[in-house]
Amino acid sequence: MTEATVTLYTAQSPIVLETIERDGVSRVRLAYVDKKYGDTVWIFREAYSFFREQASGILPCPAEAESAVWLYRDSRWCFMTPDSVLMTFRIPQEQVLFFDHRVWNRILNLEYLGKDEKDEERFEKELKNIGLSGTHKLFSTSFYPMQRRKVRDSWKRLFTSAEGCPEEYLQAAVWELRKEWLVDVKNAPEKNNE
């Protein structure tokens, strides 16, 4: 009996491919995240720490993996820079955590994920009552711990967002990329300067 696998795509820097080929596995280090996002890294650290904390209870996380690797069912969502490579993986399903990438993008924007539209309106009103027009201030200061906790708690809805999600919007996370899962590599297309 063969193990059920899923085909997923990710755009990565060539160093990730080199690491996979050399070591047989690549895992994310938060130092890479810090370097990549510079001044806005605090936002990514907030979202990524939430994800690791919650997701590791669903999909056990190796100690060496400081963050997840992001992949997609549809390769068009992979952001390709001129020096990146598009990698195709066939990964055992039990190693993958799926979610709606539109919901993940809202978390990256530090937004509240309401149960429904009325719940979101209620929370927006709560923010206005304390003099805030959005959620960023909740995370950039030590004030508003109750509202910050409500936002972080709402993010748990990410882990049920794959249910009924159109396949084109499915994003996936794994804790590592393994050489035996890699099935194809393509370089970024060269720009035509005509």
Q: Is residue 67 part of a domain?
A: yes
CA-based nearest residue to 51, from 99, 89, 123: 99
Q: Is residue 191 part of a domain?
A: no
Other CB atoms closer than 10 Å to residue 82's CB: what's the count? Answer: 9
Structural domain for 143, as ranges: 5-186
Give the mean model confidence (pLDDT) for residues 109-116.
Answer: 96
| Structure confidence by residue, pLDDT tens digits, 162-191 | 999 998 899 999 999 999 999 999 987 765
Q: Is residue 55 part of a domain?
A: yes
CA-based nearest residue to 112, from 55, 172, 51, 158: 158
Looking at the predicted structure, is the pLDDT value of residue 144 above 80? yes
d(CA 177, CA 169): 21
Q: Is residue 192 part of a domain?
A: no
pTM over cut 0.75: yes
Q: Is residue 193 part of a domain?
A: no
The single-letter code of the amino acid at 62 is P
Q: Is residue 159 part of a domain?
A: yes
Q: Is residue 60 part of a domain?
A: yes
| Structure confidence by residue, pLDDT tens digits, 32-85 | 777 777 777 888 889 999 999 999 999 999 989 999 999 999 998 998 888 899
d(CA 122, CA 38): 34
Q: Is residue 194 part of a domain?
A: no
What value does the mean pLDDT of the chain take?
91
Q: What is the pLDDT of residue 2?
A: 58
Q: What is the pLDDT of residue 194?
A: 46
- What total number of domains does the chain contain? 1
